Chain A
Amino acid sequence: MKKIKIILYLGILLCVGNACSGELDQAPSGKISLEEVFKDNEKTMYYLNTCYRYIPVKGARYFFWSRGPVCWSDEAWDADDLDVNWASSSLFYNGNASASSHPVWSVGGEDKAMSYWDHYFSVIRNCSVFLANIETANVTNEADRKRWTAEAHLLRAYYYSELLRWFGCGLPIIKEAYELSQDFSEVTRSSYYEVVKFIIEDCDIALANSELPWRISTSSEQLRVTKALAEAIKARMILYSASPLYNDGENHWEEAYSIIKTSLANLRANGYELYNKVNQPSTYSSADAFLPNQYSQLFNEYFCTSATYSTTPADKETIYQLEDGQGDLANVDGIGAILGYKTGTCPSQELVDAFETIDGKPILDLSKPYVDEETHLVPNYNTQNTLYDPQNPYENRDPRFYASIYYNGSKRKCGWTFDETSTNYENFPASAGNRARVIATWAVDENNPENGGESRTGLSATARNKTRTGYYQRKFLHPFSGNENRLGGARYKDFRLGEVVLSFAEAAAEAGHLSEAYTAVNEIRARVGMPNLPEGLSKNELILRIHNERRVELALEGHRYFDVRRWSDPSGNLNKTDRYVTAIYITRKKDGTYKYERSQVNGNERKCYTNKYLKAAIPLNEVNSIIAITGENWQNTGW
């Protein structure tokens, strides 16, 4: 009897305990391992695509259809400051940013605080994993293997460069992906300069590769990286590393000068040149485009047109343009938004002041542009300048001014959905429809003081689709884009030859090669018909002019935010530039003339000028983890 019992018990236990455990195995789950990826040519190629997944989004693609750093610098004021008070610009202006409430994020990275740090490091890991496996991967074509290897190196350099620009601090150099079991207490970070050298090393590997092209010539390969990009990244980052904020007290200008010089020469040797003629005269040279001369026409055309992928493109200046267009600019950015959703970027009076008069003379004394250097309410005019009239301020300016900014009295043709009544005698009394009108950004009309006259495009302290500053952005807006004809903006050009030329001018001047600096900056000026810089400037005077040239040439392209930072001493702040941003307050007088006064936008200071704002905060969780692991605090000063 007992035997039977024992057999029965054992039988069931065996069945349950052992034989049946196989019942719990999962069916093929559709998941693969990394080893399998690199056993297959196609999957290896897919993994390279993974290395591309965090190519930055810039231009108007910062959250929430914002120009991001443009609006966080003294170039512009974001008219979304009130309506989206939890988003980036408001966090900057109110000083509400913190290491856990990170203000910098992009449309593609809604997970806010973490996006930049996490995303770039994760894709850097992908590049490293790819590089560790590519040599032994089953790639059918050796040319592919070479080119893919070069691309992964270059992409890693690109991502590191973005991390350096935003966070401005030393970073761990990760050449090989960490194991899951890595002890992170052993990891140290390298200095800013060392990281830049690592970036250059990766770029040089890419440049030495025979299969990496200088230019992408078919649109199916758009966004793939090129040797030209490698040169441009090198030029940008060595310039940054030599700048006061990042140089740790060392002088790298000579090195920067020679690296950028080589890069520039290589770019020119491989067909890159400044954009120097109007290619679509029927649009940009037409009277309806309201661009006064060929220089402003070509300059506006360049930014409103995507570069094409061809061996002989019309645009030979663009080195790397990003994937996304600038969106429906007529609806969310600039003047077009009067009839649409939001205006966003409103160029500042400070930016307008930076445009010289046509005779090549600055309007303000560049060494001390404002009497009160913080508030900017009283300009310190350049006594040499005779053309500028503060009560007729938009006459006789640099052609780039007319291509970049809409001001009181400039004209635009597009579809307007509202009638203008006879009382709007300043404009073209006309009905709704596709027609030209005068932009009227006045705040007060003495003829009609109650509501500021018709002034649909006038100054407003609160409206989301009106200007905060008295100016609207024009640089990226197609001349005819409007409500009836919404033209998505051109792709954003992250690297162009113009930037490299100006970087060279700056590095050359800093390193004392003044005549080369003159040549470079004059090339940029000549392209838009501006006279050469006067001879005989001192090194410091020349540097001031080059900084100003950079501000004007690269206006609204997202450089200024980084430039004022890198030019600052590590202990400094942005008190003189970013604290108070001014608007032009225009009164239309009874006789039809205007009174121009300067006023602070919304009467408030911005709080994003203090020392800590020189560098973005490293996400709080990350800093906490690192402290817990190493006891070392990586956080940037002040956060």
Chain B
Amino acid sequence: MIYKKTISIMLFFLMIMNLQLKAQGIRTEVSGTVTNKYGEPLSGAIISSENDKGLYITDFNGKYSFTVEENVSKITFALIGYKSQTKFVDKVIDVVLEEDAHATSENINFGFTKQSRDVLSNAVSSVSGQTLGKSLMSRLQGTFSGRLSGLTTVEETFQPLYEDVNMYIRGFSTYHGGTAGVVIDGILYDNYSHDVLFRISPEEVESVTVLKDGASQALYGLRGGKGLIVITTKRGIPGKLKVNVNIDETIQEPSYKPYFINSSTYASLRNQAAYNDGLGKNYFFSDEQIEKFNSKDDPLYPNTNWYNMLMRNLSHQQRVAVDATGGSDIVQYYANVNMIHQGGFWHTDQKDYNANNSMYRFNMRGNIDVKITPYLSGYANMAGNIIRRHDPAGVAGSGNDNIYSMLYYMPSTLYGPLTPTVYDAEGNVIDNGGEVITTTKIGSSPYGMLNRSGYYTQTNTNIYSQAGLNLDMSFVTPGLSIGGNVGYLSYITAVLTTTQDYARYTRDDDWNSLSFTQHGTTQNTDLAYGKSTALYGYLSYKGEVNYARNFDLHHLKSNLFGIYQNFNDNTGNVGSQYDFKRIYSGLEVQYDYDKRYAVKFDLGYSGSDYFPSGHRFLWTPGVSVAWIASNEAFVKESLPWLSLAKPRLSYGITGNDDIGLDRYGYLDQVKTSGGGKIGYLGYYTNESSFGNSSLRPEEIKKYNIGLDLGFANQLTLSVDFFKEKMDNGVFRSTSFIPSYQGISLGAFPAINFAEYENKGYEIELNYSKRINKDMALRIGGFLNYNKNIIKNIGESPNEDDYAYPYRSEGFPYGQSFGYLVDYSNGNGMFNFQKEIEASPEYSFGTPRLGDLKYQDLNGDNIIDEKDQAPIGNGSLPRYYFGFSGDFSYKNWELSFLFQGVADYYRNFTRLVSNESIYDGRYSDSHLNAWTEERWLNDEKISYPAISTSKSTSSEYNDYFNKDCSFIRLKNLELAYTLPQSKALKLGAKSIKIILGGQNLFTIDKLKTRDMVVEGSYGAFPIYRMYRLGIRAQF
């Protein structure tokens, strides 16, 4: 409420001020050309006055022409990749810009504020939208991998249309886990940030900045702790209308195909599993039957490849994007229309509907800047999109993975997918067949899920709008301005689910005939329709005061702001019935002296309704300093090759209110509800949790020390070390509370006491050189390292006879525990009976020959949970790196991006448990499973003995803990720009043809296709993509 008032007061103020303005002074016409040292015109160079006011941008031919006001004496020419130059105002100014490998004139957008890179004292990394556009991923977050130092991306799922990437800045800043916050054009979106990003195309994006250190996150207060990804969309450029058209056709294919075993191998493995379990040699299949499967010519003994039957090898993705920009001194606009279609991988044969996946996304954006009066300017951003996704029914969201994994549970010995038509001796149809075949153990066949279960259509509509005003108050004092904005984002999902069921048939036991019996009671039903909707919305108001002024060599810039944000969620999530409300405010002062000594001071003051009145608000100060030694005269003289030398230091406090509690965790939750045991007594009272009335936001103290070095204006090196500490983490410290006191430990009040630490470093190296007029190259990369430790969550240790009494404290977030395999006999398995007899007893079953031999760590001669040891090192890779390069020669450009991780382990013990689910799941790993014969013959054994039921090898163990380090050619692009004359003939200013590839190959240490370095085990694999694209500019 108060914000609405504030804004109306401001508007009123602005109007009064405008009325009182005096006539303007005398203006000077300035024009000229901006070129590089090869005489090539530079378009897009920004020409600005002393006080950082953007005035003009050079056109396609590097030319500019505009008027400057009376009191302006100097103007600055800046362009990314070049050193900026400042000139005295004159009628004609022609400028030759010098290349700058260190990008010192780049303007870094912190979301709420901006700063030029040359005086930057924080740890941030950034990338342009243009670079991200090289990636073929349909989601914006999919394009970040390997592009931003300090950002670890984990590709969680590759389900068609639902691909998702989790983003972690410097790993985990809290032991609650959680991913980074997202800021778009100065507005923070943290709830559903994945969704919000999904709906922005790289074409719309000007730049992406990652805020890594505490001082740069301080203004975000209690939502700054997990780090922020700041997205800035493109804005209009004054000048003639410029239109870019991008057209892409992309082919996608799974990057690998797990091995699908044939029916005779399946039958042999199934027999082997039964044999290992003591059920005899031919428990499931006789040798003759296996022989018949092997001969492959007997229709009664099929070899069904369910993967090939139901999966397509390729699918398509098409994209068309058009953007237009232009404008005058008064109005500038940027408009974008983007359409993408992505096809699915399923092979369906339902005539009435097609449940195969597809996705259409249409988004558009219009960003308009208007100079209403010489002192008052405004802007409006309007963006919207519609996404329509189509899927098999009942599997929306995660279910495509379910169908996919079921493919591998379908035995290849099973006839299918449908019962055959049966004829009598005269050739008359007795039975039409066409019923879905499954087994008695498998409830739903993937064929049935795809073709007989209905479909699902989801339509998301999203509107994003933002408008603001800015009043130049230099009539009060030069450099002062005030502004405000209102932002609104709404999101609506409408879901249509059609469902049907189908009869299941199983093949009869007799292998000599092809007869089927109905299994279960389900029948073929007609489609039933269901609809649902969900929506959420953000509302955000902001008011701010800016003061920026240079006094000789003193450069001062400051910003004071307040934001009120309300997030309204009707998606039905827990706690979503209550609006989420937050207030952010802050002050930032940037100061530098002669671009040699820079200091930035930030102070955030923010509050959240997660905490009780009186403990809601948190001060988050941050300070950072830099010494730009390379700007010192003595350095310039004595070390001319040292083109950049800048030590940096920062400290900041950030907060976190995402503490894993229900809404209003500070309140008791006592509710009366129906369902009491005694009907006569009516309802019952449920105390679901107890609140802590002095709960406070978590504070994370973040230290950063960094150094930027540049050599000969070609090589740039940046190194940052960081440490993050939290000592008031919110946790239910119930390990010192016995259950017998009666309050469920999950309902016990949480308190602020937990301690956590995260540290690491980033190294970034970049080499850039324009070799001659025709040839340029850039090559660079970064490496992130981070390691965290949970220091104190009040864990009560297990007894002393546990090999590892603590299971969380002293370990990183997400540490797993399991059994260590004893490799003293070579292969870590029981190879003969005597070994089993000599082994300690297992508390979870009796090991068989070929089962894993676990270490008795505590020496009590029993293998039980007391012997469990840490396995792996937490849930995130310790090292994460990206490595990219661009080469251009005349009209040709080649660019590549490698991305990878190291010191990263994933556990695949699930392979063993999955062997005994349904009718068994076998793949190439199982071909090398232990058998006595293989052992006696000294053949390769890389898997324990298989089983038809849960074996002792299926306990979580380190045999299946695999090094999942990898390096992947994420992106490769070859582009050819048509000579300008040819382009002009075709009516365009420039035309570029692009051949691109995504995820072309991966080098890893896994030697089987059963396991994957990322994504979920048994789920859709990462895609490989090939693109043919055209970029035309008009």
**Which residues on A are within 8 Å of B, measured CB to CB?**
1, 4-5, 8-9, 12-13, 15-17, 19-21, 23-27, 29-34, 36-37, 42-43, 45-50, 52-53, 55, 85-86, 94-96, 98, 100, 114, 117-118, 121-126, 128, 171-172, 174, 177-178, 180, 182, 184, 187, 220-224, 323, 619-622, 624-629, 633
Contacts and interface: CB of A to CB of B under 8 A. Distances in A.
A624 B543 contact: no
A31 B679 contact: no
A34 B677 contact: no
Contacts of A118: 739, 744-745
A117 B482 contact: no
A626 B797 CA distance: 11
A619 to B, nearest CB: 7
A96 B865 CA distance: 11
B545 A8 contact: yes
| CB-CB nearest 3 A-B residue pairs | A125-B742, A628-B796, A49-B676
Contact of B736 (A47, A224, A629): A629
Given A5-B547, A52-B676, A621-B739, 9 more contacts: A5-B477, A9-B560, A13-B562, A17-B617, A24-B609, A29-B578, A98-B864, A184-B738, A633-B799
Interface in B460-480: 476-477, 480
B740 A624 contact: no
B743 A220 contact: no
B741 interface: yes
Contacts of B738: 184, 187, 622, 625-626, 629
Q: How big is chain B's contact interface, by range?
A: 35 or more
A224 B680 contact: yes
Contact of A171 (B684, B734, B740): B740
Nearest to B748: A180
Contacts of B75: none
A620 B866 CA distance: 12
Contact of B670 (A31, A49, A52, A177): A31
B680 A220 contact: yes
A223 B561 CA distance: 63
Contact of B690 (A9, A180, A629): A180
Given A24-B616, A29-B664, A96-B843, A15 B6 contact: yes
B685 A37 contact: yes
Contact of A24 (B482, B547, B581, B799): B581
A323 B677 contact: yes
B560 A12 contact: yes
Contacts of B562: 12-13, 15-16, 20
B669 interface: yes
Contacts of A629: 736, 738, 796
B616 A21 contact: yes
A189 B680 CA distance: 36
23 contacts: A5-B547, A8-B545, A9-B545, A15-B3, A17-B605, A19-B2, A20-B2, A24-B583, A24-B613, A37-B685, A46-B685, A47-B685, A48-B681, A49-B681, A52-B676, A85-B950, A98-B864, A114-B739, A184-B738, A224-B678, A628-B735, A629-B736, A629-B738
Contacts of A52: 676-678, 681, 684
Contacts of B476: 1, 4
Given A43-B685, A49-B678, A221-B678, A1 B672 contact: no
B585 A17 contact: yes
A50 B680 contact: no
Given A15-B562, A52-B678, A53-B684, A21 B799 contact: no
Interface of B: 1-3, 6, 476-477, 480, 482, 543, 545, 547, 560-562, 564, 578, 581-583, 585, 605, 607-609, 613, 616-617, 663-664, 667-672, 676-687, 690, 734-745, 748-749, 796-799, 843-845, 864-865, 949-950
A118 B1 CA distance: 47
B664 A26 contact: yes
A274 to B, nearest CB: 28
B640 to A, nearest CB: 44
B677 A53 contact: yes
A5 B671 CA distance: 51
B678 A12 contact: no
B742 A126 contact: yes
Contacts of B734: 625
A628 B806 CA distance: 12
For B482, B561, B741, which residue has the most chain A Cβ atoms within 10 angstroms? Answer: B741
Nearest to A182: B741
B573 to A, nearest CB: 16
A128 B685 CA distance: 14
B845 A43 contact: no
A96 B844 contact: yes
Contacts of B740: 117, 121, 171-172, 174, 622
Contacts of A46: 672, 676, 681-685
B739 A223 contact: no
A98 B561 CA distance: 59
Contact of A628 (B609, B679, B736): B736
Contacts of B865: 98, 100
Given A1-B476, A31-B671, A629-B738, A180 B749 contact: yes
B667 A96 contact: no
A247 to B, nearest CB: 23
A174 B676 CA distance: 24
A619 B796 CA distance: 14
A50 B686 contact: yes
Contacts of B685: 37, 43, 46-47, 49-50
Contact of A49 (B561, B683, B864): B683
A49 B682 contact: yes
Given A96-B844, A122-B743, A178-B741, A37 B608 contact: no
B45 to A, nearest CB: 34
B494 to A, nearest CB: 28
A619 B798 CA distance: 12
A625 B2 contact: no
Contacts of B670: 31-34, 36-37
B105 to A, nearest CB: 30
B690 A122 contact: no
A74 B749 CA distance: 45
A183 B690 CA distance: 18
Contacts of B739: 114, 117-118, 121-122, 619, 621-622, 625
A28 to B, nearest CB: 10
A184 B664 contact: no
A625 B745 CA distance: 12
Contacts of B736: 184, 625, 628-629
A204 to B, nearest CB: 23
A31 B583 contact: no
Contacts of A626: 738
A85 B741 contact: no
B735 A624 contact: yes
B687 to A, nearest CB: 8
Nearest to B744: A122
Contacts of B547: 5
Given A46-B685, A174-B742, A55 B616 contact: no
Contacts of A47: 684-685
A33 B685 CA distance: 11
A92 to B, nearest CB: 13
A631 to B, nearest CB: 12
Nearest to A620: B798
A178 B742 contact: yes
Contacts of B585: 12-13, 16-17
Given A16-B562, A85-B950, A122-B742, A624 B671 contact: no
Contacts of A220: 679-680
Contacts of B735: 621, 624-625, 628
A123 B741 CA distance: 10
Nearest to A91: B844
Nearest to B679: A220
Nearest to B796: A628
A16 B799 contact: no
A123 B739 CA distance: 12
